[in-house]
Amino acid sequence: MASHRKSRTPGTRVAGIRTPALATAALTSVALLSQTAEAAPGEDRPSLEEVEKKVGDLYRQAESATEKYNAAKEKTGKQRKRVDTLLDDVAKRTQKLNEARSELGSYAAAQYRTGAGMPDTATFLLAETPQDIFDQRQVLDRMTGRQKAAVDDYVTQQTETMKKRQEATESLRTLTETQGDLKTAKATVQKKLADARELLSKLTAEEKARLAAIEKRKQEEAARKAAELARQQAEQEQAREEAAQQGGGASESSGSTGSTETPPADSSYGTKAEKAIAFARAQIGKPYVWGATGPGSYDCSGLTQAAWKAAGVSLPRTTYDQVNAGTTVPVSQAQPGDLVFFYDDVTHVGIYIGNGMMIHAPKPGTYVREESIYYDGDSAIHSIVRPA
């Protein structure tokens, strides 16, 4: 069965990027899809290919929701740290404010003991805001230097404490919102996966066998295209070597994009890429789990992030950010270590290992594996990005 399959209107490519096509129509209701198993004899039933596509769409939508979940989780974590920092700061500033208030109180007590009537400093202990204090200018004029210094300190501590309390309140409000986004994304992922499982559970044994045959044909075609890309890349490498021996300039790319060939990555990139690929290869066989970043399981962007981290390169958490974390190159010039992104909404990613192949965490119910970058058709490829 196809992973993340999506029908797409052909678009143009510029420097290896496929420009987004018009959005596809909304997914047909899952209730209607269940006709595959529930339709009475003689009624129209969707073809197995249609069911396969709709299940693939559900998985792709689940992965899209997973990336939103990852983004919300990351944002929630950062926001929670900010709230904790602000609350800690508020506590410290409140302590300083209390100390400043205590000092003012000592002046007030001394004035009472000397029979000065209503002490000047007591006026400020009754003030609710810094502005209230500044409004008592005539009182300030009667104060000694030490009293004024105490008032200044009290005003400063009160102002900063109020400011930090306001910031903490706003951060708590933001944290509540991000937690809501996290909950919504999680519910969406779970719903899409449940819908896909329900559709698959309604297939007969014969239909499942036919579905497996469809998938096998797709993978054979994907392998053929990977081999063709490997041949093309080998020819390009040979042309570069011949040009270097003859002292010639850069050759023109023989890729389908028709763009000028991108210079090969330097040796330092190759060293880092080897480490990233070695890490990714060591994860083969571990289960795909949405939202996971290892070490026991991964989702697609969690795997690529962890792989490049092992090479000393920090990548963002989500596919939406990883796609902007490097230099885009044409598909025909992809090199081991490059990131391969899929679909117009950039919701899947794998790490290229050469010869048209990649290592990726495909979808729920599968495991990290090597696979052709054409596993869902060449039109599914969004772009190739060199991250370091």
**Looking at the annotation, which residues are catalytic?**
300, 348, 360
CB burial of 150-178 (b: ≥16 within 10 Å; e: otherwise) equals bbebbbebbbbbeebbebbeebbeebeeb
Q: How far apart (Å, rounded) are the C-alpha atoms in residues 199 and 211? A: 13
Locus of tokens 């920090």: 314
Under a CB-based contact definition with an 8 Å cutoff, are residues 54 and 33 in contact? yes
CB atoms within 10 A of CB 36: 21
Partners of 264 in beta bridges: none
Integer angstrom CA distances of residue 178 from 61, 81, 82, 170, 173 = 21, 13, 13, 12, 9
Integer angstrom CA distances of residue 240 from 244, 245, 263, 286 = 6, 9, 10, 38
Q: How far apart (Å, rounded) are the C-alpha atoms in residues 311 and 30? A: 43
CB atoms within 10 A of CB 280: 26
- Which residue from 335, 330, 334, 341 is spatially nearest to 380, judged by alpha carbons? 341
The radius of gyration computed from the CA coordinates of the chain, to the nearest angstrom, equals 31
